[in-house]
Amino acid sequence: MRESVLKITHIASGDLWAGAEAQLLTLCKSLNSINGLHIDVILLNNGELENRLKLHNINVMVINELNYNSYQIVKRIKKQLLINRSQLVHTHRIKENILGSLAAKISGIPSVRTVHGSSEKVTSWMDFKSQILSFLNWICGQYFQKRIIAVSQELEKNLRSSYRNIKLTTIENGVDIDSLLDLANNRKELFQSNQVNIAVVGRLVPVKRIDLFIKTAKYCTTHYPKLDIKYYIFGDGPLMQELKDYSKSIDIIDKIHFEGHVTNIHKRISEMDILLITSDHEGLPMTLLESMILGTNVIAHAVGGIKKVLKNGELGTLIYNQTEKEFADAINHSIVHSHRTQELIEKAKKHIESYYSSNINASHYYRCYCEILK
């Protein structure tokens, strides 16, 4: 007999804190508040995601991947699924998709995955391990999982070229609006001081194009010298030292603040006038939604779900050529036309409140779970 409480187990890495982890936390909090639904989480690493989940009274089990091989991890996931009495498994990212869907299949439990962004392109046959992982990820998605969920319509469209005869769907990310309202209501109006604060938020990895953010800072300094701008990079990653060295080499290091990983990122975003999203590709960035509700102007490369959220430029500035000149010109235009920018920000906040709340996001996932388990 089926239990009256629907039990879902999420499986994630938990080795870092980035957009996908922020969305998973937000989703689990909202799902766990739905009557008749219970959420458990299995992580493969200790860290910030584990701590934040526990802070919100979400049951977390860590199977540390540093201590076990893949076979042992699958066995332990299977055992934990039985302990949790899980009825459905929800995986995130490549390694967890493979190990989690295998454990679920062996346990006779259906599974789904969320794809948070486009895969990194593997350009060399020398990266044999990445090739194998990508193939196994595809096999598990194609044959072992009941549903593949994309966070944007563009991402779903791209996935359709790889996956056949499996149901794909889009569920856009959501933000915990209530937790951000105090910051949003108490922030200063844009461009109220002579100094303008501009930020980029993300892992310091190639796809995020932090180098383009640095080039934009240099371009603004050279071509718009009257603008008094400070630039902030929030995030950590393998390119940290390389990006610092590059900033020095083009003589812009004194204008750029490398803040590293910060735990109070929402407060810091609320202190910014402009957020830049310079990435080569994205799914649907949490920092986009958060910045819009916090009242920070967004200038973003027109990729992934960004175009839809910004309503093709009605709620923020879209960049199509992805050059430092286009970003810099957009920055100058936003500052010069600050009253117009402020009006746009107010519309953006209302749009996020109406369509991108965490409760709306969780309700879509809940319906998806119920459809699979009918």
Under the banding of pLDDT at 50, 70 and 90, the label for residue 191 is confident
Instruction: Look at residue 2 and tell me whether its pLDDT is greater than 50.
Output: no
Pick the closest to residue 115 from 77, 170, 60 (CA basis).
170
CB hemisphere CA count around 365 (13 angstroms): 35
In CATH terms, the fold of domain 6-174+357-373 is Rossmann fold (3.40.50)
Residue 126 scores a pLDDT above 80: no
Residue 255 is classified by DSSP as G
Q: Which residue do the tokens 């390694």 mark?
A: 95
Torsion of CA 53, 56, 58, 64, to 10 degrees: 20
Mean pLDDT confidence for 284-294: 96
Average pLDDT (302-328) is: 96
* pLDDT at residue 344 is higher than 80: yes
Mean pLDDT of 15-41: 93
CA-CA distance, 305 to 171, in Å (whole number)? Answer: 11
- The reply to whether 6-174+357-373 and 177-355 are identical in fold is yes
* pLDDT tops 70 at residue 124: no
Q: What distance in Å separates the CA atoms of residue 195 and residue 187, rounded to the nearest whole number? A: 16
Task: Give residue-wise pLDDT tens across range 143-154.
Answer: 999 999 999 999
Tens of pLDDT, residues 223-233: 999 999 999 99
Question: Do 279 and 202 contact (CB within 8 A), yes or no?
Answer: yes
The pLDDT, as a whole number, for residue 182 is: 87
Q: Which residues contact residue 283 at a Cβ distance below 8 angstroms, ignoring those fewer than 6 apart?
A: 19, 115, 116, 117, 118, 150, 151, 152, 155, 173, 304, 305
pLDDT digits (tens, 9 = 90+) for 52-74: 999 999 999 999 999 999 999 99
Sign of CA dihedral 66, 72, 73, 77: negative
What mean pLDDT, rounded, does the chain reach?
93
Which of the listed CATH numbers 3.10.20.440, 3.40.50.2000, 2.40.30.40, 2.60.260.20 matches domain 177-355? 3.40.50.2000
- Residue ranges per domain, the chain? 6-174+357-373, 177-355
Amino acid at 154: E
Specify whether the backbone of 165 is left (phi greater than 0), alpha (psi in -120 to 50) or beta: left
309: Cα separation from own chain's centroid: 14
Tokens at 197, concatenated: 């604060």
Distance, in Å, from the CA atom of 5 to the CA atom of 37, rounded to the nearest integer, reads 5
Q: What is the DSSP string of 236-285?
A: --TTHHHHHHHHHHTT-GGGEEEEES-S-HHHHHHT-SEEEE--S--S--
Residue 276 in 3-state DSSP? strand
